[in-house]
Structure 1
Amino acid sequence: MNNRTVNSSLRLSATLLLAGQLLYIVVTQFHADGPANNHPVVFAEYARSGSWTAVHVGQFAAMAILLAGLLALRPELDAHTATTGWAARFGAASAVVALALYGALQAVDGIANKQADIAWVSAPDAEKAARFASAEAVRWIEWGILAGAALIGLGYGWVAWSTRSLRAVLAPHAAT
């Protein structure tokens, strides 16, 4: 891979990573805020939020852009050795899995949570306890998906870091 291609790949990656992160920060400013573990308070706030679903769609779009920035690194990693090529393919697959998990997270958080919270807030008194239990169950599913997505993200970061380190040890001239 020539220097022009590497520079183009790195520039595209950096642009997408920065744009995705900045968009995520901006969109998240509109996210309803409240004590996450005080479910009665935060569920009522989520139910009242008029922008809840749009914020989560925006967060998903931002994450897709950010992960596209990671995927844009693949050609640079893929070009050096079989080991870095394998790691680049593994990293690309991990990024796709992470985006799928993040999509599931945003669907649960942005839609299922909102609907469960609205159902709880608007339920007749006789149904409130059952609706609240349902809203908590949806919340815990959200947390489970978040934990899985975080593990995939950490795995990708570890592979990218260890590949670069391995290249530096095995072929110092290739790591620069």
Structure 2
Amino acid sequence: MSIEKHRSQAPRFTDCSILTISDSRTKEDDKSGAWLQQALLSAGHQIIHYRLIPDDIAQIRFEIDRIASDRKTRVLLLNGGTGIARRDCTYEAVNGMLEKQMPGFGELFRYLSFTEEIGSAAILSRATAGIYQQMAIFSMPGSTKAVQLAMTRLILPEIGHLIGELDKEG
């Protein structure tokens, strides 16, 4: 089946949640979280949860488990904590939980970052994605430009297709 056929049979809208991971942001100055909310709503998706939490492996995993447990969220978007600074731990928290990885997301995100945005600094990104309890998780850097790049070029075009694939029987 062609990719166009897959997309045409996929759901158009889904339920999403957002976690901003940061030790320095507040809800009032979380520009990336605000942009994510606006982009999702503009595309017709629902937002189930939005939270801002610190760079802490246990807390990140707790929030992911809490969101997954209500079985409402189909796509969880994390922004922040994907770099290599001492406090950045989102990658470690998320990667250890994924039941299936989608390495293409991180690879393509870094490629697009390299060619369109930040050049060789793209090697510092540890953006990742995968599946946990039938929920797609995308973990991206916290900068608003990085969030916009990931969402507009990779995530939003594939959300419906991704949910369609997750919902396939057998």
- Point out the structure with the larger helix share: 1
Answer 1 or 2: higher relative contact order, Cα 8 Å, separation at least 6: 2
- Point out the structure with the larger strand share: 2
State the TM-score, normalized to the length of structure 2.
Answer: 0.28
| Bigger-Rg structure (1/2) | 1
